[in-house]
Structure 1
Amino acid sequence: MNSQNYTLLDLSSKVEYALLALLELASNKEKKTPLTMSEMTAKQPIPERYLEQILTSLRRAGLIQSHRGSRGGFVLAREPWQITLLEIVTLVEGERKDREPSVTSTLERDLVHEIWEQANTACIKVLHSYTLQDLYQQRQARLQQGPMYYI
């Protein structure tokens, strides 16, 4: 098995769509105008019904604000640099549940679970170290590079 092609942690569609929607809102922040759901779905492949549910969750959590009316839509409630990817993942997926204690705890099982806990801690550290602003800046840098042509 090639470890570079293997992923231990899956990115759920719900988290991916939330990140894409928030990335569009971060991109639109300088315009100071709300972004509509249709504008978001035109830029990102997010099913509109799913996006509506995600935006409702993000609004209830205070990450975004909604504006009604003909010029309505959604805006970030905080600056992109204030929103960590860990906060977004936790909000969308819910709090992590602690492992149920095993009825038949063994030395080997405990060792395996300790390693998994270390992997989880590393994942949390990485997600906490990146913000929505970082994601936006990396996107902008790649867009400025333009397409790569190979001969």
Structure 2
Amino acid sequence: MTELTVTTTRHRDHWVLALSGELDTLSCPRLQRELDTLLAYRYQNVIVDINDLRFCDAAGLRLFLSGTRRFFEAGGWLRLCGVCPCLLRLADVLACRTHLTFSPACAETPAALCDMDDLEEGLPASTRPVHSAALGLRPLPG
């Protein structure tokens, strides 16, 4: 069985889900349950820290896509931080990178990421997070 650890931490106005291990078809249900629980309790803002994720396949990427859509539809956001170049490449190959929101880096204190609008002001355009809502994208089937 694929090992995935999800550590959930509540902050003032958002939650951080820190992932470690492998995210694939076998382990996606573990993360899906965590996201479902947050939405069920109406927690709308989530940062998924994937800095310690060793592997992520298309199933994991699809979960990030559906999560981004679901949290947006609930009036909040889901942002990925600690994204490795190989995951960005997979998102490019599958033509879905613009549907995700990336934080430029994971701060030592995740609370520093809670107001991305302020953070984005000082970033070069090439590293600013991409907001699917700002692009007027249709919801993903799901």
Q: TM-score under structure 2 normalisation?
A: 0.27
Instruction: Choose between structure 1 and 2: higher strand proportion.
Output: 2
Q: TM-score under structure 1 normalisation?
A: 0.26
